Amino acid sequence: MGYLIETVYFLTAALFILGLKRMSHPTTARSGIIWAGYGMVLATVVSFVHPQITAHVSVTNYALMLIAIAIGGAIAWYGAKKVAMTAMPQMIAIYNGMGGGAAAAIAAVELLKDHGDKATAPGTSVLIMAVAGALIGAVSFSGSVVAFGKLQELKFFKDDAKFRFTGQQKVNLAIFASAVLLGLIVAVSHSTSGPLITLFFLLALAFGAMMALPIGGADMPVVISLFNAFTGLAVALEGFVLGNSAMIIAGIIVGSSGTLLTLMMAKAMNRSVSNVLFSNWAALGTGEAQEVTGSLKPMEPQDAAIQMAYASKVIIVPGYGMAVAQAQHKIWEMCKLLIERGATVKFAIHPVAGRMPGHMNVLLAEAGVPYDYITDIDEINEEFATADVALVIGANDVVNPAARNDKSSPIYGMPILNVDYAKNVQVIKRGKGVGFAGIENALFFADNTRMVYGDAQKVVAALIQGIKELG
């Protein structure tokens, strides 16, 4: 039986790795998710016959496990089917938090367990791994809950500034150090004291929340990726504690991929991970930002449609405003009209556009936009100078020229899309508000930019009508 289980775990690992590999390209991403899903089903099924479980679990326990799987699976299925694409980032955040919470719960069971016979009790090194997994998992859980609240724009989490105070990092460090110290005491002394372990978990949860609360919405893509890496690491550590190779492999894959994605996202913002975690946008500049000169120049949708209809090359820059308005279907409908008129159309995606990595790609895929039309910042930036029209839909900081030329700006040094190099720029925006960085966008005041105000879906519908009327 042992050889069969290990063989299945090896197959599970292969499916996880192949699935992750296929997720690296849009055309194979869906099948990659399915392959990884099959691996997870295999790992779950074989766990029911694992010797460590069959030796200690009763029929009643099996029934409870099956009931828990059925309830959790039903909730996840319903939630995934019903969630709006705009809410996908917060769903990912909370599901990721559940993974960290599960790892912490496994650790809690192991730490509170009275093994009785010292000969069969886990060694200090195993308990240290259990404590480390508990700490990281609890931090991931509470931090992800906070990320969910911020992304969902719940009232309590809306004002980032109210969670910032003098000496905050010292307080956080004290909480973290206290949690680590208590965890070491539990591991080294082999203590099963309920109050001591409970205090350890409370401190770990508090640290996760305190770490995430002051972080602004613009940094959420990086934070979600980081907590994802934390969850993977916690699962891997608890896999070592339980001697479960499937958990070890899955945790290492999730942890390593989450870490790489976190570093890539931070690099896309030209910031370090520590800067994201321990600073805020307002603290990044070297002084007062340069005053934006010029004026906002409104344009009616009918006039924008004429300019768009006679363009030979159009580049679309989607942002979170597109997601909020659910305008991706209308945008693709407009693009197909332009393509029929002989125009070249491309979509330019900034790595941190939206609320999570790949957010814009997911929305465009939902609308049926072929992958060949979607380009990233490195592929498209040189082409803006040859574009007749660049259409910005709900994006702000990722197209702000201040990142390129204003050293005092909070976003200085962040790679941006070179939208301002286009011959004409149209910006669809609901109002005159600023982006996450809290600064005016110099692009909106440029001579070649026109503002088309209104809900993105309604504005694009008007553009479509205007283009059709031109024949």
Q: Which residues are catalytically annotated?
A: 397
Half-sphere exposure of 334 (CA within 13 A, CB side): 30
DSSP line for 217-246: GGGHHHHHHHHHHHHHHHHHHHHHHHT-HH
CA pair distance 161, 318, nearest whole angstrom? 28
Task: Check: CB of residue 330 under 8 Å from CB of residue 337.
Answer: no
The count of other CB atoms within 10 Å of the CB of residue 82 is: 8
Q: Is 233 exposed, middle or buried (0-12, 13-18, 19+ CB in 10 A)?
A: buried
Q: In terms of C-beta density within 10 A (0-12 exposed, 13-18 middle, 19 or more buried), how is residue 71 classed? A: exposed
Is 394 strand, coil or helix?
coil
d(CA 338, CA 346): 11
- Give the dihedral of Cα atoms 87, 93, 98, 101; nearest 10 deg: -150
Angle ∠(458,463,469) on CA atoms, nearest 5: 125
Tell me the β-bridge partners of 347: 316, 374
By the 8 A CB rule, do 290 and 326 touch?
no
Residue type, 262: T
Beta-ladder partners of 375: 348
Contact 207, 176 (CB under 8 A): yes
Strand order in the sheet with 374-376: 374-376, 344-349, 313-318, 389-393, 425-429, 449-453
Residue reference for tokens 């809690």: 108
Query: How does DSSP assign 61-103, residue by residue?
Result: HHHHHHHHHHHHHHHHHHHHHH--GGGHHHHHHHHHHHHHHHH
Angle at 386 between CA 384 and CA 391, to 5 degrees: 50
